Structure 1
Amino acid sequence: MFDVLAFLFEQYRDPESCDDRGALMRELTAAGFDDDEIQDALDWLESLCNMSDGLFVAINESSGMRLYNDLEQERMSIEVRGLLQFLEDNAALSPAQREMVIDRLLALPADEITVASAKLVALMVLWVQKAELPILLGEELLDAVHGEPTMQ
């Protein structure tokens, strides 16, 4: 699924270009992706696109600390939670976007929630929202797409 999402991120600068699911499925099949992988990725992406950051807008106004519940702590490693905190502390993610990332991470099987997948999920949230990607942090996040670190 992550390969499909990375492909979409690289191929389409505008997420609205992904609206025609049938055409997108044909293109992804022609690119060599498996049907199940395509379906999973498009379903996941559709859920993200249908999620409104308005659900979490009040979080942007709060000054409290984010505490993770037992399920979140169990499913997301301390490294993943640390990455989310780092991205938020450095203004790459708003609190509302952080919650969207957490929601989409928890939609994944537990064994697929890694730092690399969290980076890709954060990129996908920012991409869907057409948010500005901070230059240095953007390079760090992009290594999830390219599969190799770009920062030293």
Structure 2
Amino acid sequence: MFDVLVYLYETYWRPDACPDPAQLQRKLTAMGFERDDIQDALTWLDGLAASAQAVQSQSRASSVRVYTDDELDHLGEASIGFIRFLATAGVLPPPMREVVIDRAMAVGGSPMALEDLKIIVLMVFWSLGEEPDALILDELFVDPEDRLIH
């Protein structure tokens, strides 16, 4: 599913640039993606669209987030730490953070791989028509081992 999401991000500059679901499914199939991955991604994107629409009317005031036991188990330490990092850096306001958590909880597997969470964060920005700044893109795309220290 995450390969499909990355393809959509790289191919379409915003969600409304995507073709209708039936045409998109045909295109993704022609690109060689598995049917189950395509269906999972499209279902996940429907949930993202609903969450993103709800966020656009919410305030960006600060808040404290207390994670449920299910969220702690599902997200894992690395993902929660990354979410906190983004929130503390001021690039992931509370409403967007909630969308990230909601969409992460909609994906199977525990604990969530940090690389998968980074794709989710990227897709949340994409769905809201916002582009993360260069430093955040660096965090989302570059492995820490590959960074050059000057």
Which TM-score bucket, shorter chain as reference? 0.7 to 0.9
Question: After superposition, where does 1:108-127 map in structure 2 within 5 Å?
Answer: 108-111=107-110, 113-127=112-126
Alignment root-mean-square deviation, CA: 2.1
- Partner Cα distance (1:116, 1:7) in 2: 15
Task: Name segments (4+ residues, structure 1) moved above 4 Å.
Answer: 147-150
State the secondary structure of the residue aligned to 2:110. Answer: helix
Structure with higher RCO (Cα < 8 A, 6+ apart): 2
What TM-score comes out, normalization by structure 2 length?
A: 0.88
Unaligned 5+ segments in structure 2 are: none
| Closer/same/farther in 2, CA of residues 150 and 9 from structure 1, 3 Å limit | farther
- Partner Cα distance (1:149, 1:16) in 2: 35
- Partner Cα distance (1:87, 1:28) in 2: 31
1:108-149 per-position Cα deviation (integer Å, ceiling 9, x unaligned)? 113372111110000000000011311111122134xxx897
Please say which of residues 45-54 and 69-78 is displaced more in the overlay.
45-54
Unaligned 5+ segments in structure 1 are: none
- Could you say which residue in structure 1 is the equivalent of 2:58? 57
- Could you say which residue in structure 1 is the equivalent of 2:36? 36
- Partner Cα distance (1:150, 1:5) in 2: 23
| Closer/same/farther in 2, CA of residues 81 and 69 from structure 1, 3 Å limit | same
What TM-score comes out, normalization by structure 1 length?
A: 0.87
- Could you say which residue in structure 2 is the equivalent of 1:45? 45
Give the number of equivalent residue pairs. Answer: 147
